[in-house]
Structure 1
Amino acid sequence: MGIFNKLFKSEDNGNRNAKNISWIPLTAVNQLDEIVEASKTKTVAIFKHSTRCGISSMVIRQFEGSYDVPQDVADVYYLDLLQFRSISNEIASRFEVFHQSPQLIIFRNGEVVFHTSHGDINSQQVAERV
């Protein structure tokens, strides 16, 4: 199981400390209004992550390792799905984006301009939309 544990093991406690990303914790539904408003002046992304899912852990590590978008042109929110599933449900309802995990949702000009999930997530998708 050694290689599978390294690839899929999730020891994520929900605290993100990536060197290239200044994660903004998404912990309240009213932040969705802030995200929509902020996206009118810069790209905003939400990364929905399940801290108990090995695939989600693998995807977020890859995302963090390759992310190089300057903070002044894009904000990246981190949503811990286990703690804040109600926010994910509100995202699905309000923005008509079917819930998946992991999932990346990108906003520009007050609306969702892109979303993807699982192994299709990569940091370049944010860079292409700044």
Structure 2
Amino acid sequence: MTGKKIETEEQFTKLLTNEFFLLFKHSLTCPVSGAAFDEYQSFISEKNDLETAFLAVQEARPLSNYVAETFGIKHASPQAILFKNGQPIWNDSHWRITKDSLQAALEQ
């Protein structure tokens, strides 16, 4: 499982209807983002019941900005945002995105 790639507000809004939803913002050119994306993929490979998606910032900048502005979460990439019932309950970025940190966020 690698998560769904999304690019539109409509795709994102539909995913928010899940009780829990994990969004990963990914930069295609950043090595830190590449490492965080590997951690994200490792984490979700064991979470078949968790709805998750990612966006590539270079390809979906309007969506990335929409998420930042709508939820008041300063943009970063890489960035992971966990939503519960349509609202963000946790987010982190860069080297702090690890399989363990994602699991801890889900358990909080």
Could you say which TM-score interval applies, normalised by the shorter chain?
Answer: 0.7 to 0.9
Q: Indicate if the aligned counterparts of 1:51 and 1:81 stay in contact, CA closer than 8 A.
A: yes
Give the fraction of aligned pairs with identical amino acids, expressed as a percent. 24
Q: How far apart are the structure 2 equivalents of 1:76 and 1:27? A: 13
Unpaired runs of 5+ residues, structure 2, are none
- In structure 2, the CA distance between the partners of 1:66 and 1:25, relative to structure 1 (3 Å rule), is closer
Amino acid at match of 2:7: T
Among residues 27, 46, 49, which one is paired with 1:50 in the alignment? 27
Partner of 1:25: 5
Matched, 1:116 2:96: no
Report which of the two structures shows the higher radius of gyration computed on alpha carbons: 1
What do you get for the CA RMSD once the two structures are aligned? 1.8
How many Å apart are 1:61 and its aligned residue?
Answer: 1.7
Provide, for residues 69-99 of structure 1, a one-character-per-residue CA deviation record: whole Å limited to 9, x for no partner: 4212x11101011100110000011111110
Q: Indicate if the aligned counterparts of 1:46 and 1:77 stay in contact, CA closer than 8 A.
A: yes
Q: Indicate if the aligned counterparts of 2:36 and 2:78 stay in contact, CA closer than 8 A.
A: yes
Structure with the larger helix share: 2
Unpaired runs of 5+ residues, structure 1, are 1-20
Q: Indicate if the aligned counterparts of 1:44 and 1:108 stay in contact, CA closer than 8 A.
A: yes
Provide, for residues 91-113 of structure 1, a one-character-per-residue CA deviation record: whole Å limited to 9, x for no partner: 01111111000000000122100
